[in-house]
Structure 1
Amino acid sequence: MTDVAPRLAALAERLLEEPLPVRIRAWDGSEAGPPGAPALRIRHRRALRRVLWSPGELGLARAWVAGELDVDGDLYGLLAQLAPLIWEKSEDSHARQRVTALVRDPDVRVAVRELLSLGGPLPPPAPPREERRRRFGVRHTPGRDRQAVRHHYDVGNDFYELVLGPSMVYSCAYWEPGNEGRTPSLEEAQHAKLDLVCRKLALTPGSRLLDVGCGWGSLVLHAAREYGVSAVGITLSHEQATYARKRVAEEGLADRVEIRVQDYRDVADGPYEAIASIGMAEHVGRERYLEYASGLYSLLKSGGRLLNHQIARRPMRDESAYQVDDFIEAYVFPDGELAPLARTAGALEEAGFEVRDVESLREHYALTLRAWVDNLEGAFARAAALTSPGRARVWRLYMAASALAFERNRIGVNQILAVRTPVSGESGLPLRTREWLGG
């Protein structure tokens, strides 16, 4: 039998009401779809079982993690073709009504039964346990947050060195044009981002900086080395803390930089002149966000600055309908939540901050993610050996899909500079607020 791919393509086109934009290559050697198009390879019939058992993104993700689905050729090309089907179609009411009608269509039910016969009627085996989230306790309690953070970050410092490069910065870089239009390297772009944060916070020798979610210590090291500050970095990841402490010792900065394994809710040694929170607030959760903002406000001295660097999603007409992406929730950021920019700024203001500047770095994150994917793809076998094949596949899909989401304005990332403005109203910022740009 060599007709699996044509049968799958025919069913997909009927559901979509348009030609299939990608080519399908099935385990039986059959192919279907436009010649020369990016190809989705179905390596094993279990992939169908996973999709039928868990329709939607989660079933596809499980098949991808297990290695039963793969891409022949350009991953970005395939995702770009599928993106309108996954994103736009899922939000189109006519498309949803069409799918509902098709489910009632006797011919479609026959086709689904045929797919069941191809994939097998039994539930598919679970993906490797280490790739899936573990859920214990109430969301966004300290214990549950520790579990979520360690699922994502404690996968091996060697793995992150391979993906992130020498900077060990896991947030979007700042891609300033180089001399004569030269594109900077990832390392140069991350250095530029760290320096931009320090300039926005107006760091000066002897001032105290708190880095909430300090990762592998790159910002506190840069701030201590280049700006002479006394810095505290906190993380929930023991692996990150061990790595950061080693870097601090090697640079001879132990007298000015402290790395703690600590929850942001437990920091009580303020006041600080400046606080940076870069790529951390996505883990806080909607029900805890005002508590987070108020806690940071209480740790700042009067006139102190907060730099909140956070991924944002587009707002919805009905915000109560927001749901975390199944793939991200299950395999990447357990309990992570994105909020629209206005909600984040509003919570900061409600906590007492004066929001003074907002800068979008959306395109910068797309460039950063593509650089990380290049690093991963260039040493994929080693990445799989350092973690597991499934985890390496998760990161490849997650980062490539995220790059497209930033490029297509599905999500963004913003740096919000906020001030604990004193009663006198003197914010400490000049009339030309963006003095960090120079010139």
Structure 2
Amino acid sequence: MAGGGDWRRTGTNRTTQSKVLRLRRTIGPSGPSRRSLRGLDWFVFFLADTQMGFGPLVAVYLTAQKWTQGDIGLVLTAGGLIALAGQMPGGALVDAARSERVLAACAVLAIGASAFLIGAWPVFTVVLAAKLLHSAASCILGPAIAALSLGLVGHSAIAERLGRNARFASIGAGLAAAGMGTAGYLISNQAVFFITAALCMPTLLALWMIGAGQIDPEQAHGGKARPHPGGPTSTLRMLVQNRPLMVFASCLALFHLANAAMLPLTAGMVTMRSGEWAAALVGACILVPQVVVAALAPWVGRQATIRGRRPILLLGFAALPVRGILLAFVNDPDMLVAVQILDGISAAALAVLVPLVIADVTRGTGHFNLAQGIIGTAVGTGASISTTLAGYAADQFGIAAAFVMLAGLAAAGFFAVLAYMPETAGFPEDSNDSRRGALFLKVSRARRR
């Protein structure tokens, strides 16, 4: 009774307890609320829908508007260059943001505006500005989704959360591709962009469902960094000195140098061999990996927690050279579609493990999202070279030789992971200074034991 009387007499304690109770009602006893987690699910889903409108349908729409192929190529190239150059600034902006939700909402609005502009005014200057706006916004949204996920569930549950993100993104992209293709056929190609703009509304609603107070801002940035002298240059230098991060970036550059050109080459080969069924078969080649990712991604997240990151990463990298060799020697168009299952395996593994490994090796640095930008730059560089390199090889030596070359590059990426990439699960939250060179030493000692 004495304790109860003290409590009634102490206004400060009463206020403190009420705040604690309100916080518990908000986040629940064991983590974020179901509402916030569902909000993140649907945010990822609808965002994949909106991004689908900026895929190949842009070229189809502009061609129908009597654009020259040179102008279409210029707009797409400019957008690609901005997407590549904006990876690191986009990640740094997410790290610097006080609210990832507000920043993500601004990026979604920018995507909606760019879609509306393309649909309403298909003139060169407007479309170019809209494409640049879309590319810049996309550079923010990739890191923002990972930051929201990490800030909500923390490092202990991030693997399964990323698997869930990949599932919803894949389902959203697949349904959007079918729906927008149907809208373009039944209504008009222009309608696709107005639909894309309209889809930003449920995207923002889903983002609003994520409770702002449930996102740990320090956790979302990869922990609190130890103060160090210098500006952005010294921060970037610190990350470049993170050896596992740089090894991972190099391996991913090799992977996408081999991977990016495989689907375009496959589409060309199917078109030459299948005649009137080519469009349906190419569509199947795109859809099959999406289905595999939706099915496998949650399993990948669970296994990455149970078995570690390295075995699943090796599986994803191993599927690519096998796919390249099969594409080089399989002639039946239906079998070419079946080979795309391997693309889904690689995509499921990397969709989960890329942000997961980055979170592991940057834990405690406070620059998780800038590190995502570094990885994104490496991926974009490899992918942009891939199509040119494979196209030259196909012209000079034939499509089969081009696939064998890409399989060789993929094998090089696999062996790079096997030889140099450590297991990143369970890395301690060290300071920036100790993380720079010690990780490989820790791994080598662990292997010797």
Pairwise same-fold verdict (TM > 0.5): no
Give TM-score, length-normalised by structure 1: 0.23
Report 1 or 2 for greater relative contact order, CA contacts < 8 Å, sequence distance ≥ 6: 2
Give TM-score, length-normalised by structure 2: 0.22
